[in-house]
């Protein structure tokens, strides 16, 4: 059995070493094979050129994941846009107990074309295992790619989700990521805005509870002129959950007229949670605009009083506030079927709360 120690989600430059936030590590990672990928929607043709150039596009998780994939012999499943295509490509990966699998997916948008993709990752609630998905994307001149990623993993699953993007002139990439569950989650996205007037917009929503943890590393590199990016992250932490968000906007030399905005909103439900946020702007060009900020804290007492005075229990009030973070991003989902499914998922109380996780733990003892 080949095992590999990995460094993941490394910041482009080191900051506060004493807080141990610059990177994360995984010990003795082993991949036994590939996950069963189910594709539905348009019959897209494989893109062999992207398969060959897959490793040249950097992902947010880092190069160690490329090495892990090479060591395990994981192949690339590639898809490319077609002229006049409007139906979204739906990719689903369902994981079982004890899985140790990885998938590599390549997406290409040809010049002037568009491609919509929905990726759904899930397992049984009590399942334990390891899964990794690496997605590399090339948006050619005037192309547009919209990507939705949904994560509903088991309470004991470790999940690695890596994205690497390269946008040419006037290329447009939109990303929505929603994390509903999973024991240890490592997410990284690196977008290289190489062409002039290329854009990136990312929305992340999460609800982390129990003993779970979420580790995020988003990097947008402005390389072309008049490029634009917007990174929005919002979520809740409850019980003993942990979350680390690294958001980097990198203005390279020559990226004149580039604009980058980044913000995060974090709801702290309990005093026992651990939240770490690093908004970072790197600048090698003078003619740019960069903004970042974070709003982190517990709900205002006035808001809780308002809700409880109308007959809502404190527990239900917190559930409403946690769901609100997710619902706000749900409304941005362009696929009506997926949007309604997720709203029903939240309204029906299927989002695993702390009490349910405690019951499961006690039941296994």
Model confidence at 51: pLDDT above 80: no
Tell whether 161 is covered by a domain.
yes
Tell whether 180 is covered by a domain.
yes
- Average the pLDDT over each of 3-17, 32-46, 129-143, 259-273 and give the range with the smallest value: 32-46
Looking at residue 365, its pLDDT comes to 36
Its domain, for residue 315, covers 4-354
Mean of the per-residue pLDDT values of the chain:
90
Residue 295 neighbours by CB under 8 Å, 6+ apart:
263, 264, 265, 266
Distance CA 220, CA 259 (A): 11
Tell whether 190 is covered by a domain.
yes
Looking at residue 360, its pLDDT comes to 46
SS percent in the chain: helix, strand, coil, step 5:
20, 45, 35
204 vs 358, higher pLDDT: 204
Looking at residue 364, its pLDDT comes to 46
Neighbours of 104 (CB within 10 A): 23
Position 351 confidence tier, pLDDT thresholds 50, 70, 90 = low
Calculate mean pLDDT across residues 223-241.
Answer: 96
Model confidence at 303: pLDDT above 80: no
Question: Residues of the chain with pLDDT > 90: what percent?
Answer: 70
Model confidence at 358: pLDDT above 60: no
Position 318 confidence tier, pLDDT thresholds 50, 70, 90 = confident
- Domain count across the chain: 1
Looking at residue 112, its pLDDT comes to 96
**Going edge to edge, which strands form the sheet with 89-95?**
37-40, 89-95, 114-123, 144-152, 172-181, 199-208, 228-237, 258-268, 288-297
pLDDT tens by residue, 24-48 = 999 999 999 999 999 988 766 666 7
Position 10 confidence tier, pLDDT thresholds 50, 70, 90 = very high
For residue 344, give the H/E element and its range.
Answer: helix 336-347
Calculate mean pLDDT across residues 308-315.
Answer: 82
Tell whether 360 is covered by a domain.
no
pLDDT tens by residue, 76-95 = 998 888 877 778 999 999 99
The sign one gets for the Cα dihedral 41, 42, 46, 47 is negative
pLDDT tens by residue, 208-224 = 999 999 999 999 999 99
For residue 283, give the H/E element and its range.
Answer: strand 274-283
The radius of gyration of the chain's CA atoms, rounded to the nearest angstrom, is 20
Of 224, 150, 236, whose CA–CA distance to 192 is shortest? Answer: 224
Looking at residue 349, its pLDDT comes to 67
Distance CA 118, CA 116 (A): 7
Looking at residue 139, its pLDDT comes to 96
Tell whether 9 is covered by a domain.
yes
Angle subtended by helix axes 314-330 and 301-308, to nearest 10: 110
Looking at residue 361, its pLDDT comes to 45
Distance CA 312, CA 104 (A): 46
Tell whether 359 is covered by a domain.
no
270 vs 298, higher pLDDT: 270
Phi, psi of 321 (to 5 degrees): -65, -40
Please give the full DSSP string across 50-99, using - where no structure is assigned: HHHTGGGS--SS-HHHHHHHHHHTPPEEEEE--TT--SPEEEEEEE-TT-
Greatest mean pLDDT range, 12-21, 170-179, 327-336: 170-179
Tell whether 365 is covered by a domain.
no
Contact 176, 151 (CB under 8 A): no
Looking at residue 354, its pLDDT comes to 52
Model confidence at 363: pLDDT above 50: no
Tell whether 13 is covered by a domain.
yes
- Average the pLDDT over each of 106-115, 133-142, 152-161, 315-324 and give the range with the smallest value: 315-324
Looking at residue 350, its pLDDT comes to 56
Helix count and strand count (H, E) for the chain? 6, 19
Looking at residue 129, its pLDDT comes to 96
Calculate mean pLDDT across residues 193-219.
Answer: 97
Model confidence at 299: pLDDT above 90: no
Model confidence at 202: pLDDT above 90: yes
Distance CA 290, CA 77 (A): 36
Contact 186, 9 (CB under 8 A): yes
Question: Residues of the chain with pLDDT > 70: what percent?
Answer: 93
pLDDT tens by residue, 153-165 = 998 999 999 999 9
């Amino acid at each position: 059995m080949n095992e590999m120690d990995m460094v993941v989600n490394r910041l482009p430059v080191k900051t506060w070493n004493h807080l141990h936030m610059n990177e994360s590590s995984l010990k003795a990672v082993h991949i036994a094979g590939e996950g069963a990928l189910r594709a539905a929607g348009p019959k897209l043709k494989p893109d062999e050129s992207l398969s060959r150039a897959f490793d040249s596009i950097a992902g947010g998780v880092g190069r160690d994941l490329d090495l892990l994939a090479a060591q395990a012999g994981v192949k690339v499943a590639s898809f490319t846009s077609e002229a006049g295509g409007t139906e979204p490509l739906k990719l689903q990966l369902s994981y079982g107990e004890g899985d140790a699998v990885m998938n590599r997916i390549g997406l290409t948008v040809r010049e002037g074309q568009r491609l919509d993709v929905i990726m759904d990752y899930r397992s049984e609630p009590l399942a334990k295992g390891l899964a990794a998905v690496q997605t590399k994307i090339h948006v050619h001149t005037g192309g547009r790619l919209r990507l939705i990623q949904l994560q509903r993993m088991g309470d004991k699953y470790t999940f690695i989700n890596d994205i690497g993007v390269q946008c040419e002139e006037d290329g447009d990439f939109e990303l929505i990521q929603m994390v509903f569950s999973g024991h240890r989650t490592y997410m990284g996205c690196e977008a290289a805005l190489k062409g002039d007037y290329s854009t990136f917009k990312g929305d992340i929503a999460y609800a982390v509870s129990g003993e779970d943890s979420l580790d995020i590393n988003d990097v947008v590199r402005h390389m072309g002129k008049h490029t634009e990016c917007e990174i929005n992250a919002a979520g809740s932490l409850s019980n003993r959950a942990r979350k680390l968000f690294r958001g980097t906007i990198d203005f390279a030399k020559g990226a004149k007229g580039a604009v980058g905005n980044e913000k995060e909103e974090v709801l702290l439900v309990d005093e026992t949670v651990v939240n770490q946020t690093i908004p970072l702007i790197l600048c090698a060009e003078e003619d740019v605009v960069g903004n970042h900020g974070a709003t982190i804290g517990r709900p205002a007492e006035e808001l809780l009083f308002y809700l409880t005075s109308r007959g809502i229990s404190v527990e239900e009030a917190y559930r409403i506030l946690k769901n609100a973070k997710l619902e706000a991003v749900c409304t941005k989902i362009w696929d009506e079927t997926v949007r309604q499914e997720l709203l029903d998922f939240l309204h029906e109380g299927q989002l695993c709360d702390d009490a349910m996780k405690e019951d499961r733990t006690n039941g296994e003892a």
